[in-house]
Amino acid sequence: MAAKFTPRVFSGIQPSGGLTLGNYLGAIKRWVAMQGPDFETIYCVVDLHAITVRQDPDKLRRSTHEVAAALIASGIDPEASVLFNQSQVSAHAELGWIFNCIARIGWMNRMTQFKDKAGKNAEKVSLGLYAYPALMAADILAYHATHVPVGEDQKQHVELTRDIAQKFNHDYGVDFFPITEPVIEGPATRVMNLRDGTRKMSKSGESDMERINMLDDADTIARKFKKARTDPDPLPGELEGLKDRPEARNLVDIYAGLSDRSPEAVIAEYAGAGWGRFKPALAELAVEKLVPISDEMRRMMAEPDALDALLARGAGKAEAISRPILEQVHDIVGFVRSRG
């Protein structure tokens, strides 16, 4: 990649319901790890994305506060990173429109998340849900972000972002947008449902028992792991032995993600252990890591004005980075910009 782009991280989470252990291990924990001298880090609560499906306005506000609180409680430092909600910075929607005119219908038709979410109902979902990946490209490229840490399910959307950047650069004969790298790393890039190891853990699954919420209390976390679906066999001595055991593999990956170890190291420690030993150890580890975060989240959510002030400050910083980039886009595209 051309050296002209500052190493810059951008990522987002939707305020569309309670956050899960999947969000924590697949995204938040890794966002925290990327803060530091190597990158400028920009993290966004993507409320424009959330309304691609119907959201109750009060719940949307509360979820926005919940996500902001979760990020800070997990270690995002609002001084070291830029932290804001998407709708307060209009560059996202504006560049999103321009990208709607760059992305091709054929590209959008290949998006597997749209196909999953729309299902048989494709005629009834919003136009926004279809255009959603072009808005995500705008989020990333409005900051010339070079790296995007996400869970495995977002890989295709980051690839689409690269295609949009490439087509824009090519069509206008410029070298303006960076070709962004997805960063999908660690043992828990795809945390699975606790009742069905072939499905992703998500905010919106039908049963609460299939996911761990970041706001679950210690008893609930322990109960959910105890009831998590497994198979009758003990843990094997090597990772290879988990090949056709998705539920078992998922619990090992969660343990690895929470303890910052490799799945191999976890298997080595628990080789031959039955679920009666492994599940309580996993529950204890999850409680140890998550409960201090949820305690802090609840404390912050009780002071929404303070969170609003933080988001306002973050939005100001985000605006300062994205506005000049958007002005250059207007010049490249040929929009008259006579207001300065």
Q: Which residues bind ligand TRP (CB under 6 A)?
A: 10-12, 14, 46, 49, 136, 139-140, 148, 150, 154, 157
Measured from the CB atom, the residue of 145 and 326 that comes closer to ligand AMP is 145
Q: How far is the CB of 42 from ligand TRP (least distance, A)?
A: 9
User: Residue 45 binds what, of ligand TRP, ligand AMP, none (CB under 5 to 8 Å, by partner type)?
Assistant: none
CB of residue 101 to ligand AMP, shortest distance in Å? 25
Is there a catalytic annotation at residue 226? Answer: no
Per CB under 6 A, the list member of 40, 61, 107, 153 interacting with ligand AMP is 153
Q: C-beta of 24: minimal distance to ligand AMP in Å? A: 8
At closest approach, how far in Å is the CB of 12 from ligand TRP? 3
243 is catalytic: no
Rounded Cα distance between 11 and 265, Å, is 29
Residue pair 145/8 in contact by the 8 Å Cβ criterion: yes
Which residue's CB is nearer to ligand AMP, number 13 or number 95?
13
Among 150, 183, 228, 258, contact with ligand AMP (rule: CB under 6 A):
150
Instruction: Given the residues 59, 155, 167, 203, select the one marked as catalytic.
Output: 203
Burial class of residue 42 (count of CB atoms within 10 Å of its CB; 0-12, 13-18, 19+): buried
Query: Quick one: which segment of 22-30, 101-109, 169-177, 238-246 binds ligand AMP (CB under 6 A)?
Result: 22-30
Nearer to ligand TRP, 184 or 258 (CB): 184
Burial of 12 (0-12, 13-18, 19+ CB in 10 A): buried
CB under 6 A: which stretch of 120-128, 198-206, 215-223, 316-324 binds ligand AMP?
198-206
Q: Which two tokens stand for residue 11?
A: 């990522």
As given in the structure block, the two tokens for residue 118 are 């729309």
Cβ neighbours for 138, distance < 8 A, ≥ 6 positions apart: 91, 92, 93, 94, 95, 96, 98, 99
Residue 136 interaction partner, one of ligand TRP, ligand AMP, none, beta carbon < 5-8 Å per kind: ligand TRP
Residue 85 interacting with ligand AMP (CB under 6 A): no
Q: Which does 190 bind (CB under 5 to 8 A by kind): ligand AMP, ligand TRP, none?
A: ligand AMP
21, 211 contact by CB (below 8 A): yes
Nearer to ligand TRP, 221 or 315 (CB): 315
The closest of 59, 95, 67, 94 to 83, measured between CA atoms, is 67
Handedness of CA 193, 196, 197, 198 (dihedral sign): negative
14 φ, ψ (degrees, to nearest 5): -80, 140
Q: How far apart are the first and last CA of the chain?
A: 32
Nearer to ligand AMP, 98 or 111 (CB): 111
Task: Tell the smallest beta-carbon distance from residue 49 to ligand AMP (Å).
Answer: 7
* CB closest to ligand TRP, residue no: 12
Contact 150, 182 (CB under 8 A): yes
Please say which residue, 14 or 213, places its beta carbon nearer to ligand AMP.
Answer: 14
- 200 in catalytic set: yes
Which stretches of the chain are DSSP H helices?
Answer: 21-23, 29-34, 47-50, 57-74, 91-100, 105-108, 112-118, 127-141, 155-172, 218-227, 246-259, 263-270, 275-301, 304-333
Smallest separation, CB 153 to ligand AMP (Å): 5
Residues with catalytic roles? 117, 200, 203
